[in-house]
Amino acid sequence: MKRLNRRKFMATSALAMLYGASPAWLRASGTTTSRTSATVPWRNWSGALEAHPAGRFAATSEEHLAQFLATTQGAVRPVGSGHSFSPLVPTDGQLIVIDQLHGLLDHDPAALTATFGAGTRLGDMGAPLQAAGQAMFNLPDIDRQTLAGATATATHGTGINFKCLSGYVTALRLVTPAGDIVDVDATSDPQLFNAARVSLGALGIITRMTMQNRTPYRLKQTTWLEKTDVLLANFDQHVAQYRHFEIFPLTHSDYAMALATDETSEPINNPTPSPEEDAAFDDAMSGWRMVPPAMRKPLINGMAMMIEPSERVDTSYKILTNVRSNRFNEMEYAVPLANGAACLEEILWTIDEQNLDVVFPLEYRYVARDDTWLSMSSGDEDHAAISVHRIASEDYRPYFDVIEPIFWKYGGRPHWGKVHSLGAAQLGRLYPRFAEFQALRARLDPQGRMLNDHLRKVFGVTG
Ligand SMILES: Cc1cc2nc3c(=O)[nH]c(=O)nc-3n(C[C@H](O)[C@H](O)[C@H](O)COP(=O)(O)OP(=O)(O)OC[C@H]3O[C@@H](n4cnc5c(N)ncnc54)[C@H](O)[C@@H]3O)c2cc1C
């Protein structure tokens, strides 16, 4: 039987849903909020969220932004690159855009810290950091998010020793809803610092952030397919052995793709996949998604067994992030680490048992604990982050509605930037400092001008 390498497999199988390229958002039929006429619509990355803001305020400087907030009234919502799946951004007021507040502003070679404009995309940080002799400890799956947007939702990568991005913020500048410019760090105002590092854009507009970094490094990533139960049985060993480890369990299959990543001094070897090769395999196997879910297992298992392990080596930030051009919607919960495997197994069992027609793989990662008030890993426990996905053109609700209670059963906290249905009552039970955040938010924004319907539900604000 012909062997497949990982890139070919990913271009032609369920994994292509994550790694492929198709403008599915053009066909998306999603939730619509805040519709008025004669405005330029805003849509999120997946296309499921749409809003018609009254206008967009593009800040050219911190002073410009402060003056705008001090001299206007009414609803405002900061927006990053629109990569959240939850309706954090939609407003019929003003969208605050800080794209022009970007780039490396300062760095400290001794402390290995660097300050960026908060509108900088994560993907625009790696090269200037490298030139300054620094690199970020970890990164999420993609690098299109802004620094402010990513930290606002506690965006994370994988690795048992690595916190979410917010855990590496050492200082930030906040323009409050009243238009005051405040510099915040762990000593100047520890309460505000620990709240503002994961703030859902509810405390003000963050204009710059200082990150703790390290020296530049190179990573080698090894990818292989293995039976999910074997991977789970050896999970603790893999997690301890590799700097980063994650798995993508394939639905309606016994297999998962494993990604193990470690520091290396080996030469760079990170070839771009050949489109011709991928197209040939795409032709050969494009029909498998038409097979009913209950009959897919032998097909997917057979494909999985043909996959050869692969390796790539590159500068850290080029290995840690990927391109996800095939649009989808996602729900992710962080469950206490000890519950991770059982929660994942119950989700996979439920998908099979209820014959749910899901082609997207799940994703299972690790995030270390931190001391912010609202990160999904805040507190004294490390967490496992488990994601489920649905192609953007399909209604995600029926699938996510079945899976979400499983996350609750295992003590999960929803990713702030991904689909969830929780309100203030449930969230207050999940976060010991939630009431303090609510009080701080009310003090900084007594008029509630930074709230939208979603945030009113999240923070329990009525009227
Ligand atoms: C393809 C894809 C892959 C992803 N991969 C990961 C992953 O690997 N790990 C992970 O944890 N998440 C992941 N996410 C989720 C994503 O990282 C978060 O939703 C993130 O918050 C999006 O950042 P953004 O810049 O697009 O911000 P937006 O989605 O535009 O906004 C997010 C929040 O930030 C606030 N905000 C934006 N700018 C400011 C500001 N200047 N001041 C204050 N608040 C502000 C907004 O008001 C909002 O509350 C992924 C999302 C997608 C679409």
CA 405 from chain center: how many Å?
A: 21
Phi, psi of 168 (to 5 degrees): -105, 5
Strands in 218-370 per DSSP E: 218-227, 244-249, 255-264, 307-308, 310-315, 328-336, 363-367
What would the two tokens of residue 395 be?
């209604």
Q: Could you tell me which of 192, 183, 148, 122 has the C-alpha nearest to residue 59?
A: 148
Mutational test site, ligand 1, from 121, 143, 153, max ligand atoms within 8 Å of CB:
153
* Token pair in block for residue 185: 């760090």
Mutation probe of ligand 1 site: the residue of 22, 46, 83 with most atoms within 8 A of C-beta: 83
Instruction: Compute, in angstroms, the gap from residue 43 CA to the centroid of ligand 1.
Output: 13
* Ligand 1 pocket, CB under 6 A: 45, 77-84, 88-89, 98, 118, 140-142, 145-146, 148-150, 152-153, 155-156, 200-201, 205-206, 324, 415, 417
The pLDDT value recorded for residue 463 is: 74
Enter the pTM of the model.
Answer: 0.93
- Domain for residue 276, yes or no? yes
Q: Which residue, judged by its Cα, is nearest atom 11 of ligand 1?
A: 155
CA 5 / ligand 1 centre spacing (Å): 32
Amino acid at site 224? W
In 153-274, alpha helices (H): 190-196, 228-233, 235-241
Which domain, by its residues, includes 368?
Answer: 218-414
What residue's CA is closest to ligand 1, atom 10?
A: 155
**CA–CA dist 344, 364 (Å, integer):** 8
Structural domain contains residue 281: yes
CB atoms within 10 A of CB 370: 25
Q: List strand residue ranges (DSSP E) for 368-457, in order.
A: 383-391, 413-414
Q: Determine the pLDDT at residue 441.
A: 98
SS3 94: strand
Instruction: Please say whether the beta carbons of 73 and 94 come within 8 A.
Output: no
Rounded Cα gap, residues 415 and 365, in angstroms: 13
Q: What is the pLDDT of residues 427-463, one digit of tens each?
A: 999 999 999 999 999 999 999 999 999 999 999 999 7
Q: Reading across the β-sheet that carries 169-175, which strands appear in turn?
A: 104-108, 113-117, 205-212, 169-175, 181-185
Residue 407 lies in a domain: yes
Structure tokens at 135: 């690199």
Per run of 10 residues, the mean pLDDT along the chain (length 463 residues) is: 48 45 29 49 97 97 98 97 98 98 98 98 98 98 97 97 98 98 98 98 98 98 96 92 96 95 97 63 55 86 88 97 89 97 97 92 97 98 97 94 98 98 98 98 98 98 88
C-alpha 290/C-alpha 173 separation (Å) is: 52
Q: Shortest CA distance to 6 belongs to which of 219, 234, 259?
A: 259
Q: Whose CA is nearest to atom 49 of ligand 1?
A: 200
CA angle at residue 403 from 402 to 405, to 5 degrees? 90
Assess if residue 150 is contained within a domain: no
The amino acid occupying position 177 is P
Is residue 239, in this structure, part of any structural domain at all?
Answer: yes
Q: How far apart are the CA of 80 and the centre of ligand 1, in A? A: 7
Residue 172 lies in a domain: no
Separation of alpha carbons 235 and 226, rounded Å: 12
Ligand 1 centroid to Cα of residue 409, in Å, is 26
| Atom from ligand 1 closest to the CA of residue 146 | 25
Task: Give the C-alpha separation, 382 to 408, whole Å.
Answer: 17
- CA separation (Å) from 279 to 17, 98, 224, 308, 324? 15, 40, 22, 19, 18
pLDDT at 304: 86
The rounded Å distance from CA 229 to ligand 1 centre is 32
Would you say residue 283 lies in a domain? yes
Look at residues 211, 204, 230 and name the one whose alpha carbon lies nearest to residue 345: 230
Ligand 1 center from residue 329 Cα (angstroms): 13
Alpha carbons 152 and 416: distance in angstroms, whole number: 8
Sign of CA dihedral 226, 228, 234, 236: positive
Closest residue by CA, ligand 1 atom 1: 324
Q: Which residues pair with 171 in a beta bridge?
A: 185, 210
Given a contact cutoff of 8 angstroms between Cβ atoms, the answer to whether 198 and 153 are in contact is yes
Of 221, 69, 252, 233, nearest in space to 158 by CA: 221
- The per-residue pLDDT for 299 is 85
Among protein residues, the one with the nearest Cα to ligand 1's atom 32 is 149
Q: Which residues contact 189 (CB under 8 A, 6 or more apart)?
A: 182
| Residue 268 Cα distances to 22, 314, 315, 316, angstroms | 29, 5, 8, 11
Q: Is residue 274 part of a domain?
A: yes
Distance 282 CA to ligand 1 centre (A): 32
Ramachandran bin of 34, using left for φ above 0, alpha for ψ from -120 to 50, beta for the remaining angles:
left
**Ligand 1 atom nearest residue 415's Cα:** 11
- The total domain count for the chain is 1
Q: Ligand 1 centre and the CA of 166: distance in Å?
A: 12
Backbone phi, psi, residue 175, to 5°? -100, 115
Q: What's the CATH number where 272 sits?
A: 3.40.462.10
